[in-house]
Amino acid sequence: MPFTRTCLGTSLLLSLCPVPNANSDTNFTVAAPREEGFLEQFAATYRFGAGTPRGISITPDGAAVLFLRSGPRSVVQDLYELDAVTGAERVLLTADQILKGGAESLSVEEKARRERMRVSSRGIASYSLSKDGSTILVPLSGKLYLVDRASAKVREVGSGKGFPIDPRFSEDGSKIGCVRDGDLHVIDVATGNEIRLTSRADENIEYGVAEFVAAEEMDRREGYWFSPDGTNIAFTVVDTTGLERFTIADPVNPERPATTWAYPRPGKANAKVGLMLSPVALGPAVPVQWDHAKYPYLVSVKWPKNAPLTIVVSNRAQTEQVIYAVSDSGSVSELLTEKDSAWVEIRQSVPRWLGDGSGFLWITESSGWPELEWRDKSGTKVSTLAGEAIGFRGIIDVDDQSGDVYVSASKDPTESHVWRVPTTTRNAPQPLTVDPGQHGMSFSKNHQTWVRSSSTADGRRAWVVGRNEPSRPDRIAPEIKCVAEKPPFMPKPEWITVRAGDRVFHAYVLRPRDFDGKKKYPVIDSVYAGPTANVVAKSPWGQLLNQWIADHGFIVVGLDNRGTELRGRDWARAWKTRSGNPKGDLIDIALADHADGIQALVKQYPEMDGARVGVYGWSFGGYFSAMAAMRRPDVFRAACAGAPVAAWEDYDTTYTERYLGLPQDNPEGYRNSSVLTWAKDLSVPFLLVHGTADDNVYFMHSLKMADAMFRAGRHFEFLVLPGFTHMVPDPVVTRSLYSRIADFFVTSLGGPK
C-alpha cells in the first residue's frame, strides 16, 4: 500500500521529518516531559518539515544546484539557486512574483495528482530543468512559465485551454508536453505555440495520463514520453469504460458539487491502457502491439538516447514482467522475461540503458536477494554487478563516462548507504557513506558535482554539495541551508533486535524522557506492518511525535515484521509463501509477528507492562491496529486505527491482487483478511479516525467498519475528519488529532506504576 510513504501515518510511524542544518543539529535543550507547546510547534511547522530543501537538482555542468524551500511555518515554496563552488544562494523565482499577490488555484485533477504524489506544497510546487540547464519550466496556478536562469526573466508559454497536468520538457529541450482536459498537448519552446495532439471524444478515455493504479501502486506517474530528439512522442490511451464510479461529496458543504472517479476494485474491471506512437508534428499515430490480454499492466516506459523505446508490461497476477523493445511501426521484440511465483517487484529505475546503447541494467530477485545485472542489448546477461554481499537495494544513478553505477545498499535494514559499483573494471564496490543512518545522493550529468543528503543516528542531518576537484582537496563543501525550526528535544531511541522463536526482528524502544527504571510502563506499538514500508530506521527525526507520546507515560516500540522489505525475497514475500492459506492473506503473518515480538520485548525489558499494550497506525497501520484489537485482545488492550482498510474487496486491484489474488480465486484469504469478519469480536477500547474526502482508502471503509461493530453491539469511538483526504496537513487539525490520540491511550491504558 504505497500510499503510506508520506501520509499522516508515516508521521506517526516512519517519516524522516526534514530537520535543521547539521552544523547546529545537536544543540537541543532537554525540556520537561509532555513538552508544553511541542504539539503546537509540530503542527505549525508541518512536522518540522517546512523550511527544508526539496526538489534538489543539479545543472548539467555541475556549476549550480537548484532547490525548493519554504519558510519555517509555511508550505509556500520558492525556487532557489546555489553556487556549487562558493555556496552563495539566490532566489530565482517566487509564486508571488508571477501571481502578483493573487491566489493560487488548482484543478480537481491537479489536486488528485498531488494526492497520488503525497504533495501538500503550494507556490512553486515543482519545476523542470532544460537539458542545457539554461531554462526552467514552472507550472503555477493553471499556467506554464519559462524562467531564464541567467537573468531570472519569466515568460508565459502555451495557449491551450484547461489546467496543464504533468508539464515536462522533451529531452532535447525544444518542446514541452502537458495534458489538458484529458488530451495531450505539445508546446514549441522557441515560439510558445501550442498544438493538441489528440481529440478526446469520450469522457471515459484520456490521453497521456497515468491511470489510478499506475500512479498509486506502480510509481508510474507519467503518461507520455518524448523521443530523445523531440520529434516523436509515445503516449497512453486510458479507457475506464466499465469501471465503477466512486463519488466523494462534502457533507459539511452539501451545496458543493461532488467529485467522481473511476475506481478498480479487486476481481473487477481495470482501466484498459494502450500506448501510441506519433510524430510531434501531428502525423499519424500507430499503436504499440503487445498482448494486452496477457499483459494488461503497462508498468514503465523508457525512451533513452542510443536505444529503442522500451516498455515493461505485466500480467494481472503480477507474477510475470516482460521487457519489450518497440520499433517505429509499433511492433515489439522481447528482451527479457522475469517471473516470480509470488510477485515480481515493480522498480521504475530499470531497465536502465547504458549511454552508448550497448546494454541495460536490470534488477532480479531470482537468487533470493535483489541483484543488479548487466545485460547486453539483446537481453542476454553479461554479469552480476552487485547483490547480497553489500545488501544491494536499487539504482541511484549511472555515470556513462566512467561506467560507475551508484546504488543504494546496506546489509543492515535499519540503514541506507550509497555505494559506487564499477562496470568496466574488476574493482570491488566501494561505500561512499559510512555513518550509521540514512543517506542518499544526486549527481550532475557530468558527475562532477553531487549533493549528499544524510540523516544520521546521532541526530545530524545535512545536504552537502560536493565537487570532484583533485586540485582543491581542502575546499570546504557548501551546504544547502535549512531554515526549519529546531524541535525542543531530540529523541534517543534504542535500536535493537528481538528474537521470537526462530524469527529475529529489528525494532526500536523509545522511553519517556523522565523514565524511572523502578516503574512499569504501558507499551504502545507504533505500527505500519504492511509490505513496502519499514518503520525501524536509524534516524531519530522520525520519532519526534512518538517521543511526545512516550512522554505521556508510555514506552513506544516498533518492529519490522515478515512481509516488510530489505531482508530478501523470502522475508518480503512471507504473505504468500509462509501463510497457512497457500494463496495468501494480509494479516496472519504480521499479527503473529507483532504479538510474539511484543511479548518477547516484555520479557526482555522488565519496565514494560505486558498487561497494558496499545497499538496505533495509519493506512495499513490503521488496518493492522483494528485487526490487532479484534483478534489479539490478549496482547493488545487498546487500539487507534487511522484511515484503515476494512475489506480488501473495496481497495484497488493492483495492490490487493498482488498479495491476495482475485477474490473469486481466494475467498478464504479475503474473508480472513477483512476487518468486517472480526468486528464482532472487539472487546478493548478502540478509536477509529478517517477523513471524509479520502480518495485512496475511501471513507466507506470506516463507515462499514463502524456499522459492523455497532450491529454487533461493540463499543468504540469514531473521530471523523471532515473534508480531509488520506493526508492531514492542516496544523490545527494535526494538533487536535494527536492530542486526542494521546488522551485516548492515557485513558485506556493508564500511566506508569
DSSP designation for 416: B
Q: Please give the Cα distance from 408 to 532 (Å, whole number).
A: 16
3-state secondary structure of 175: strand
CA distances (Å), 549 to each of 420, 507, 556, 611, 738, in order?
A: 40, 18, 8, 19, 9
Q: What is the pLDDT of residue 9?
A: 30
Does the pLDDT of residue 103 top 70, yes or no? Answer: no
Whether the ω angle into residue 296 lies within 30 degrees of 0, i.e. cis, is no
Q: What is the pLDDT of residue 176?
A: 97
Is residue 521 within 8 Å of 607, Cβ to Cβ? Answer: yes
Q: H-helix or E-strand containing 622? A: helix 620-631
Q: Please give the Cα distance from 551 to 548 (Å, whole number).
A: 5
Reading the block at residue 739, the C-alpha cell is: 492530542
Confidence of residue 6 (pLDDT cuts 50, 70, 90): very low
If you average pLDDT over residues 266-277, what whole number do you get? Answer: 98
Q: What is the pLDDT of residue 102?
A: 61
Q: What is the pLDDT of residue 470?
A: 60
Is residue 408 within 8 Å of 396, Cβ to Cβ? Answer: yes
Confidence of residue 14 (pLDDT cuts 50, 70, 90): very low
User: 494-749: what fold?
Assistant: Rossmann fold (3.40.50)
Does the pLDDT of residue 586 top 60, yes or no? Answer: yes
Percent above pLDDT 90 for the chain: 82
Nearest to 613 by CA among 624, 628, 627, 626: 628
461 forms beta bridges with 455
Contacts of 592 (CB under 8 A, 6+ apart): none
CA distances (Å), 572 to each of 102, 316, 443, 565, in order?
A: 49, 20, 30, 5
Each residue's pLDDT tens digit, 684-730: 999 999 999 999 999 999 999 999 999 999 999 999 999 999 888 78
Considering 78, 397, 593, 694, which one is annotated as catalytic?
A: 694
Q: Please give the Cα distance from 512 to 698 (Å, whole number).
A: 35
CA distances (Å), 481 to each of 20, 24, 89, in order?
A: 8, 12, 9
Amino acid, res. 351: P
Confidence of residue 106 (pLDDT cuts 50, 70, 90): low
Considering 619, 625, 673, 748, which one is annotated as catalytic?
A: 619
Does the pLDDT of residue 577 top 90, yes or no? Answer: no
Q: What is the pLDDT of residue 37?
A: 87
Confidence of residue 98 (pLDDT cuts 50, 70, 90): confident
Q: H-helix or E-strand containing 408? A: strand 404-409
Q: Please give the Cα distance from 647 to 679 (Å, whole number).
A: 11
Q: Is 516 part of the annotated catalytic residue set? A: no
Amino acid, res. 253: N
- Burial of 450 from C-beta contacts in 10 A (0-12 / 13-18 / 19+): buried
Q: What is the pLDDT of residue 12?
A: 31
User: Which ranges in the chain are annotated with CATH 3.40.50.1820?
Assistant: 494-749
Q: Please give the Cα distance from 730 to 543 (Å, whole number).
A: 20
Q: What is the chain's mean pLDDT, rounded?
A: 91
Confidence of residue 22 (pLDDT cuts 50, 70, 90): very low
If you average pLDDT over residues 208-217, what whole number do you get? Answer: 96
Q: Is 619 part of the annotated catalytic residue set? A: yes
Q: Please give the Cα distance from 676 to 124 (Å, whole number).
A: 43
If you average pLDDT over residues 552-556, what whole number do you get? Answer: 97
Q: Is 417 part of the annotated catalytic residue set? A: no
Q: What is the pLDDT of residue 576?
A: 83
Q: H-helix or E-strand containing 373? A: strand 371-376
Percent above pLDDT 70 for the chain: 90
Nearest to 187 by CA among 245, 141, 244, 226: 226
SS (H, E, C) 35-53: CCCHHHHHHHCCCCCCCCC
Confidence of residue 121 (pLDDT cuts 50, 70, 90): low
Each residue's pLDDT tens digit, 516-531: 999 999 999 999 999 9
Q: H-helix or E-strand containing 110? A: helix 108-117
pTM above 0.85, yes or no: yes
If you average pLDDT over residues 655-682, what whole number do you get? Answer: 96
Q: What is the pLDDT of residue 109?
A: 60
Is residue 688 within 8 Å of 347, Cβ to Cβ? Answer: no
Each residue's pLDDT tens digit, 283-313: 799 999 999 999 999 999 999 999 999 999 9
Amino acid, res. 436: P
Q: What is the pLDDT of residue 99?
A: 75
